[in-house]
Structure 1
Amino acid sequence: MQPIIALDFPNKQHALDFISRFDASEPLFVKVGMELYYAEGPQIIRDLQALRPMNIFLDLKLHDIPHTVEMAAYQLGRLGVALTTAHAAGGREMLAAAKRGLLAGAKDAGCLPPRLLAITQLTSTDEAMLHDQLQIQGPVRESVKHLAALAQSAGADGVVASAQETQDIRQVVRPDFLIITPGIRPAGADIGDQKRVVTPAQAKQLGSSGIVVGRPITKADDPIKAYHQIQTEWSTDHD
């Protein structure tokens, strides 16, 4: 899986202009998050699909009562995206409802269903926040490990987690379970609001299935060069 570029832009034009800078023959995997989707709605997915072939990770982090999540997931399942997300903290019943909704929506639209990723703990969460604000005791990695096992039991296809917890997650999930890792920063880069970060090479060594990279690419002076450097580091065998 090639690195997933987070299209964290305020509107459609910024996103389409950015994608248009890449050679049309180059395979791309992009992430549409809350900012862009809430600005443009589902039309942004259709516009990206019309621009060129690409895989899309629609990251809206569904979290509500099971029925509401199932109905929302049905709509997302109709869009033909590759991946989408719901919060593992919503529990087993909610995650199972999300999966049902995605499958039903995709079937009615005649497209492949998105793979469901469960959000474990955000990479902006550190142990102090987990304990003091969320009142969850124990290490972050134990919480992530528990939520990953819960997600698998509910029918999710994978999780979103820091690569720092990848090896712990692998202890409790099947081999083909996806672990998609944000919080990726090249060595020496500004970590911004992220807390649990790794480099692309570290993510690969730790066993991540895929990485999500935003600002180190989109804010770079030369985004294409930055993407290719990250892609090379991610795809290189570091054994």
Structure 2
Amino acid sequence: MTDAALRERLIVGLDVPTVQIAEQVVSELGDAVSFYKIGYQLAFAGGLGFAGDLVSSGKKVFLDMKLLDIDNTVAKGVENIVKMGVSMLTLHAYPKAMRAAVEAARGSNLCLLGVTVLTSMDEQDLIDAGYEHDPHTLVLIRAEQALAAGMGGIVCAATEAEAVRRIVGPDLAIVTPGIRPAGADAGDQKRVMTPADALGSGASHLVVGRPIVTASDRKTAAEAILAEMSNA
């Protein structure tokens, strides 16, 4: 795999409070990183405009909005997100919402990702939320539903990537957060895996936030993770 192809599989999570900090992160990482995730924290601090700036500069953007609403609202939101030129968008993997989003994005290059079970959740968390399934079972059910809906990929913990790959086949994206370099602290994530192990398990893209963004030398941290990925 070429260095450029490898970089396209690493998505750095810009989970920072301001656009100014995000700009600094992107500047420090330079050509080492070509793909960035923007989630709630940055989105509500000017990050949606910043997403457009990243796209204009040649970077790829994963907009992590985890949409879920009535069909028409999801569809109208997706129609406008398509116009932003971002590469990936998340929505919760509910069948009706996924079908509405797929129809709204038809003909575009936007890869729609179904969020299965958040990597911060374990079995007790799901019980508390009223679900009858354990995380692994629910992930597999939602993977099947996402495939049936025509989604572009799945978001799941790397620990579920191998089982999900068997369901969705070779073509769909499997994007895995909760990635931690060997020896790193898991933080608030409950289902984590190293970069090499995640790719070896079937993940197509790895989302890495704090291990890079909070590092004293961000570019070196990113390059170390890319080196781990190259060993997969």
Match of 1:86 in 2: 91
Using the TM superposition, give the Cα deviation of residue 204 of structure 1 relative to its aligned residue in structure 2, in angstroms: 1.4
CA-to-partner distance for each residue in 1:185-205, whole Å, 9 max, x for gaps? Answer: 112212111100011111012
**How far apart are the structure 2 equivalents of 1:187 and 1:127?**
25
- Partners of 2:32 and 2:12 lie apart in 1 by 13
Residue 42 of structure 1 aligns with an amino acid whose one-letter code is: L
Moved more, 62-71 or 14-23: 14-23
Give the Cα separation in 2 of the matches to 1:22 and 1:135.
42
Q: Is the 8 A contact 2:155 2:174 kept in 1?
A: yes
- C-alpha distance in structure 1 between counterparts of 2:174 and 2:202, whole Å: 8
The farther-off stretch of 1-10 and 56-65 is: 1-10
Partner of 1:179: 174
User: 1:16–1:48: 8 Å Cα contact kept in structure 2?
Assistant: no
Q: Deviations over 1:13-51 (max 9, x none)?
A: 11112111133x44511111111111115311122234x
Deviation at 1:235, TM superposition (A): 2.1
8 Å contact 1:2–1:231 — kept in the other structure? no
Partner of 1:204: 199
Partner of 1:175, secondary structure, is coil
Task: State the distance in 2 between where 1:162 and 1:201 align.
Answer: 14
Query: Whose helix fraction is larger, Structure 1's or Structure 2's?
Result: 2
Runs of 4+ in structure 1 over 6 Å off: none
Give aligned pairs, total. Answer: 225
Contact conserved, 2:19 with 2:47, CA < 8 A, in 1?
A: no
2:5 alignment partner in structure 1: none
Taking the aligned partners of 2:171 and 2:16, their CA distance within structure 1 comes to 32
Q: Is residue 2:105 matched to residue 1:102?
A: yes
Per the alignment, residue 72 of structure 1 pairs with 77
Q: What is the root-mean-square deviation in Å for CA atoms of aligned residues?
A: 1.5
- TM-score with structure 2 setting the length: 0.92
Question: For 1:75-109, what per-residue CA distance to the aligned partner results, in whole angstroms no more than 9, with x for missing partners?
Answer: 11111011111001xx2221111122233xxx6xx
Structure 1 counterpart of 2:14? 7
Q: Unaligned stretches of 5+ in structure 2?
A: 1-7
| Correspondence for 1:20 | 27
